[in-house]
Homo-oligomer: A and B are copies of this chain.
Amino acid sequence: MGFRTAILGATGAVGQEFLRLLDERQFPLDSLTLLASKRSAGKTMTFKGETLTVQEVTHDCFDRIDLLLSSAGGSISKEFAPSAVKAGCVVVDNTSYYRMDPIVPLIIPEINSADIANHQGILANPNCSTIIMLLPLWPLQQALGIKRVVVSTYQASSGAGAQAMQELKEESLAVLNNQDYERTVIPLPYAFNLFPHNSDMLENGYCEEEMKMMEETKKIFKAPDFKVSATCIRVPILRAHSESINVEFEKATSVEDIYSILSSAPGIKVMEDRAANRWPMPIDVSGKDEVLVGRVRKDPTQENTFEMWVVGDQLLKGAALNAVQIAEAL
């Protein structure tokens, strides 16, 4: 009655969340197979009290798998997703590799779950910063129409994987103890420091992470001219992304109307306490499913324009949770 499910990249930061979510959400499993690259094969992980051994991914390992949750990096998805599809498996891919492929649906279930039915074997999970931004923007786009978005992100180490999270902690400890530390994952000093996202730079001066937010939004919203300008910054935070968003609407509106629209939208929660001066923070959402929105205020410098502040767990709604929701919708 359930799915024979495999997790590719099971030992990674997102992979670990997949395991937790499949258990917690009582995902209908017939079997669970843990896959990873050769490096991680042989490791063991616990699921519902059972010890599972991670197996090396190979091209012929998908015969008895119905559903593959893939989160082991773009090059691994590129290599193995076609073999999985050939074996009859449906792939929910959490890497960037297939996202902009026109035949691959790019899904945030709260926004475009109807597109899931169009899949030809592969479904893509959007970039984490894109998901966190679009959850609050989608109900506003429907109700008010959005003319233009300017967004600056505050992205956590988890976006660079479990090792980056560990490295941030180790480097911070070394700095606090006045010790040297040799980084091997993050290419730039990260403890008590921040830096523009280190993905590849494009000719236009934006980096790939920024272009993902700008281009994936157009595909998910089915709005080829949708306007987003993004600045992506890595901050020394463990697992939640924050975003400062300036939105210009087509229609006139008010802070009250925006909060009313956001309050009834799925997947997000308004956190707004002006009296206590208390707003969404990364530790509020770490390990939580919901994306928090607050600090909605009218931008006095331009008509129909508002500022807002959005925070979401990068590993959950930004990655594993969204992918599991796609699988559930299947």
Contact = CB atoms under 8 A, between A and B. Distances in A.
Given A233-B244, A302-B227, A297 B198 contact: no
A229 interface: yes
Contact of A148 (B152, B176, B204, B301): B301
A250 to B, nearest CB: 15
The 10 closest A-B pairs by CB, nearest first: A205-B297, A227-B301, A152-B152, A152-B244, A231-B244, A229-B299, A196-B279, A195-B281, A150-B246, A193-B283
* Interface SS majority for chain A: mixed
Contacts of A231: 152, 244, 246, 295, 307, 309
Interface stretch (A7-15, A88-96, A235-243, A314-322): A235-243
Contact of A189 (B194, B228, B283, B299): B283
Contacts of A148: 301-302
A233 B237 contact: no
Given A150-B246, A172-B172, A246-B150, A235 B194 contact: yes
Given A231-B244, A299-B229, A307-B231, A255 B200 contact: no
Given A237-B193, A244-B152, A201 B277 contact: yes
Contacts of A283: 189, 192-193
A283 B198 CA distance: 16
Contacts of A81: none
Interface in A280-310: 281-283, 295-302, 305, 307, 309
A296 B204 CA distance: 10
Interface in A194-213: 194-196, 198, 200-201, 204-207
A193 B240 CA distance: 9
Contacts of A188: 281
Contacts of A189: 281, 283
A172 B309 CA distance: 24
A202 B53 CA distance: 56
18 contacts: A148-B302, A149-B301, A150-B299, A152-B152, A154-B154, A154-B233, A192-B236, A192-B237, A194-B237, A205-B274, A205-B296, A205-B297, A205-B298, A227-B301, A229-B246, A229-B307, A231-B246, A235-B236
Which range contains the number of A residues in contact with the other chain?
35 or more
A242 to B, nearest CB: 6
A173 interface: yes
Nearest to A176: B173
Q: Which residue, of A192, A235, A298, has the highest number of chain B Cβ atoms within 10 A?
A: A192
Given A205-B255, A206-B297, A235-B235, 17 more contacts: A150-B150, A150-B301, A154-B233, A168-B192, A188-B281, A189-B281, A194-B282, A196-B309, A204-B300, A229-B307, A231-B244, A231-B246, A231-B295, A231-B307, A233-B244, A236-B237, A246-B246
